[in-house]
Amino acid sequence: MEKMNRCRVIVFVIALLRLGSITKAQVTYTGTTSADAFLATGSSNNPEGSDLTGLNFGAAGTLVVAPAASVKGEFQSVLKFSLSNAVAMFNTNYGAGNWTITGISIALTSNYGTNGVQPNNAIFPMISSGNFIIEWLSDDDWVEGTGTPNLPTTDGVTYDSLPVLLSGAHEILCTNTYTPPGNNVPVTYALPLNTNLVSDVADGGDVTLLFHAADNQIGYLFNSQNYGRGNEPLINITAALKAVQLKILSGYFTNGLFHLTGIGGTNLQYQVQASSSLTMTNWQTIGTVTADGVGMIQFDDITATNSQRFYRLSR
């Protein structure tokens, strides 16, 4: 084996990334809406009137989906989620830029979840199974408002706001089937990992979803954030550590020290381990090192001796 300066013979090996208790395989953030409202057209059979398109119902305890063919008129609903806390959670667990979103779902619960039941407030349609669409909107610039079913206002989002909301980028995510499960029973709908949605979530700002009917049968009421009591809409976002190619790039003497360089996840901390033989199973941790903002790892071994030594990086 070729001797290096000071007669030290150092051999380095490609590092292996090992996931253990230090890093969770995946974590899930759960949060409710920061704003939500139902949007209504009204009809001659709706106690509130035949034209509700300019009225706000943002402070209602429920959100509604019903088709234009509904005897009470059409209902759509908008939900906004603020996801800064989700990104903070993932950054804490994995380091900024070192995680990827692996799942997104919405959980909805209704205190009117029985098929064929007419809600107490007659402005709403009868509960009925059917299909509905969840659509992603790029426009998050809307206000919930303070209107209620009995005291609507004009200080927030309305049905008349839809042309503006849909003037920006928007995309249908999925069509779901609603089968009334009974009262206060949560129903979870998985959302596809659509590029626009995932990018919006990963940015850690606001995400807006629009719910509207996909057939003429659905009559779906689900509780808003204003209803509370543990039955508000929930978004569940799961993230996992990105696949990181962790490896040692080079090793050389400089200023009397043996210097290791490597590449790993940005801002992640790693253990530097050493062994005198690859046949040994007991690797000694000789230090820790934190990769920089582009993933570069730099470590000086101040314990190197005039003997053979193997290195690896571990997390």
Q: What is the pLDDT of residues 122-141, one digit of tens each?
A: 999 999 999 999 999 999 99
Residue 256 near residue 8 (C-beta atoms within 8 A): no
Residue type (1 letter), 150: N
**Of all residues in the chain, what percent carry a pLDDT higher than 90?**
70
pLDDT at 5 over 50: no
Predicted confidence at residue 306, as pLDDT, reads 61
Predicted confidence at residue 94, as pLDDT, reads 87
pLDDT at 185 over 60: yes
Ranking 143-157, 169-183, 218-232, 242-256 by mean pLDDT, the lowest is 242-256
Question: How far lies 17's CA from each of 25, 86, 291, in Å?
Answer: 13, 25, 14
Q: What is the pLDDT of residues 82-113, one digit of tens each?
A: 999 999 999 999 888 889 999 999 999 999 99
Supply the DSSP symbol for 276: S
Structure tokens at 198: 């995932």
Predicted confidence at residue 3, as pLDDT, reads 37
pTM comes to: 0.78
Mean pLDDT (the chain, rounded): 89
Q: What is the pLDDT of residues 197-234, one digit of tens each?
A: 999 999 999 999 999 999 999 999 999 999 977 899 99
- Edge-to-edge order in the sheet of strand 247-254: 247-254, 257-263, 296-301
Buried residues in 223-243 as b, exposed as e (16+ CB within 10 A): bbbbbeeebbbbbbbebbbee
How far is the C-alpha of 194 from the C-alpha of 198, rounded, in Å? 6
Closest CA to 56 of 142, 148, 124, 125: 148
Q: What is the pLDDT of residues 267-298, one digit of tens each?
A: 888 999 988 888 877 889 999 999 887 788 99
Check: CATH 3.30.420 for 5-17+244-314?
Answer: no
Ranking 124-128, 189-193, 299-303 by mean pLDDT, the lowest is 299-303
How far is the C-alpha of 196 from the C-alpha of 45, rounded, in Å? 39
pLDDT at 8 over 90: no
Q: What are the strands, taking DSSP E only, across the chain?
A: 26-32, 35-40, 62-65, 75-82, 99-108, 130-137, 170-178, 187-191, 206-213, 220-223, 234-241, 247-254, 257-263, 269-275, 284-290, 296-301, 310-314
What does the radius of gyration of the chain's CA atoms come to, in whole angstroms? 28
Give the number of other Cβ atoms within 10 Å of residue 191's Cβ.
21
Q: What is the pLDDT of residues 17-71, one digit of tens each?
A: 443 334 457 999 999 999 999 999 999 999 999 999 999 999 999 999 999 999 9
Predicted confidence at residue 18, as pLDDT, reads 41
**Scanning the structure block, which residue is given the tokens 């101040």?**
302
Closest CA to 112 of 147, 68, 65: 65
Residue type (1 letter), 147: G
| Structural domain spans, the chain | 5-17+244-314, 26-241
Buried residues in 244-275 as b, exposed as e (16+ CB within 10 A): bebbbeebeeeeeebebebbbbbbbebbbbbb
Predicted confidence at residue 20, as pLDDT, reads 35
pLDDT at 6 over 50: no
Q: Give the orientation angle of helix 195-203 with respect to helix 84-94, to 10 degrees.
A: 80
The pLDDT confidence band at residue 1, using thresholds 50, 70 and 90, is very low
